[in-house]
Amino acid sequence: MTDTSMGHIIDGFGYAKGLRERLAVKVAELKATQGITPCLVVVIVGEDPASQIYVKNKGESTIAVGMDSRTITLPDTTTEADLLKLIAELNADAAVNGILVQLPLPKHMSSLKVIDAIDPLKDVDGFHVENAGKLAVGLDGIVPCTPLGSLMLLKDAVKTYGGGSLAGMNAVIVGRSNIVGKPMAQLLLNQDCTVTIAHSKTKNLKELCLTADILVAAVGRPKFIAGDWVKDGAYVIDVGINRIEVDGPDGKKSKVVGDVDFDAAKPHAKAITPVPRGVGPMTIACLLNNTLHAACLQHGLPAPEGL
């Protein structure tokens, strides 16, 4: 590749580190001026080892920015009624500012019902219908962490490498989940992008992707987006976190890859997020951002600005 204005790697890890540092300053201010220490409670049901790693990371990052962190681990055999009862207790506990119930939940529970039970003001995932609805109609609410973090990276990259705003860009989002695809579409629409949401039934997906100035991959399938699906000069945001087995020097080992074939896509892209160290660390940093935001809302204080 001779064109040095292409293939920039978006440093999500570094951006997230900076965001966490700025959050730590705001948390210290809130403590000093209001005597409030934001508290995040993470609830995990079952013993899925991958989930436990994320939960441990979340807890450590929460403490590192000066917030209080509690993790509640419940057995797989917990009933939905028991989980709803716990959520009601956390809703009523004034010391708790944010509640995150780790997904997916065991099959015998309805995640919609569980999320619906969380006080929307404490819903730091931004998954409650009230927060989803606010985002859809353009009211201030809590915005889901992964789309929020993705937007921050995208705005920064377009500013750095494109010189302008997102207005008028063609955005194609591959994936229509409530957690990433749909809220990402709302955020990009609010930025005056022309947004298309693609999914498993979309016809001519490759051709559609090739129209994208902004391509967001949130399908959950390793390397699903091939290099020749990326238009030259596009901004590529890879939301996928897929653990795959690869051959290492001493047998099989596990590795994390995205939904985009990074090596093949990079020469086409203006800028692209890697996996790991792209969107993932931003998800955690935005969770802390949302916890601080939630604590402010609950105390009738304005949301922190300039982060």
Ligand X SMILES: Nc1nc(=O)c2c([nH]1)NC[C@@H]1CN(c3ccc(C(=O)N[C@@H](CCC(=O)O)C(=O)O)cc3)C=[N+]21
Give the separation between CA 122 and CA 280, rounded to whole angstroms.
Answer: 22
| Span between the terminal Cα atoms of the chain, in Å | 35
**Does the annotation flag 248 for ligand binding?**
no
Going residue by residue from 6 to 45, which x/- string records binding to ligand X, judged by CB under 6 A? ----------------------------------------
**Does the annotation flag 241 for ligand binding?**
yes
* Residues pairing with 42 in the sheet: 71, 100
For the chain, what's the residue count?
A: 307
Of the two residues 125 and 259, which places its CB atom closer to ligand X in the complex? 125
**SS3 sequence of 135-188:** HHHCCCCCCCHHHHHHHHHHHHHHHHHHCCCCCCCEEEEECCCCCCHHHHHHHH
- The reply on whether position 145 binds ligand X by CB under 6 A is yes
282 and 153 Cβ atoms separated by less than 8 Å: yes
Tell me, by CB under 6 A, how many residues bind ligand X.
16
Of the two residues 267 and 276, which places its CB atom closer to ligand X in the complex? 276
Residue 276, preceding peptide bond in cis (omega within 30° of 0) = yes
Give the separation between CA 27 and CA 242, rounded to whole angstroms.
Answer: 33
Q: Closest Cα partner for 229 from 164, 172, 170? A: 172
**Does the annotation flag 98 for ligand binding?**
no
Of the two residues 69 and 283, which places its CB atom closer to ligand X in the complex? 283
Catalytic (active-site) positions: 58, 102, 125
- The reply on whether position 150 binds ligand X by CB under 6 A is no
CA atoms within 13 Å, Cβ hemisphere of 300: 0
Show contacts with ligand X in window 82-101 (CB under 6 A): 100-101
- Kindly state the smallest distance separating residue 77's Cβ from ligand X, in Å: 20
Which residues make Cβ contacts (< 8 Å) with residue 229, sequence separation at least 6?
Answer: 205, 206, 209, 210, 215, 265
Question: Which of 195, 241, 265, 285 forms a contact with ligand X (CB under 6 A)?
Answer: 241
- The reply on whether position 283 binds ligand X by CB under 6 A is yes
- Kindly state the smallest distance separating residue 218's Cβ from ligand X, in Å: 12
Give the separation between CA 239 and CA 287, rounded to whole angstroms.
Answer: 16
Q: Which stretch binds ligand X (CB under 6 A): 25-33, 84-92, 265-273, 280-288?
A: 280-288
- The reply on whether position 301 binds ligand X by CB under 6 A is no
Distances (CA, A) of 82 to 42, 43, 98, 153: 16, 12, 19, 39
CA atoms within 13 Å, Cβ hemisphere of 148: 24
- The reply on whether position 125 binds ligand X by CB under 6 A is yes
- Kindly state the smallest distance separating residue 147's Cβ from ligand X, in Å: 11
- The reply on whether position 280 binds ligand X by CB under 6 A is yes
Q: Is 162 exposed, middle or buried (0-12, 13-18, 19+ CB in 10 A)?
A: middle
- Kindly state the smallest distance separating residue 47's Cβ from ligand X, in Å: 14
Going residue by residue from 42 to 81, which x/- string records binding to ligand X, judged by CB under 6 A? ------------x---------------------------
Of the two residues 117 and 145, which places its CB atom closer to ligand X in the complex? 145
- Kindly state the smallest distance separating residue 46's Cβ from ligand X, in Å: 12
Query: What is the maximum span of the chain, computed from C-alpha positions, in angstroms?
Result: 60
- Kindly state the smallest distance separating residue 4's Cβ from ligand X, in Å: 26
Taking CB positions, which residue lies at the least distance from ligand X? Answer: 280
Q: Using CB under 6 A as the criterion, which residues of the chain lie in contact with ligand X when the complex forms?
A: 54, 100-103, 125, 145, 241, 256, 275-277, 280-281, 283-284
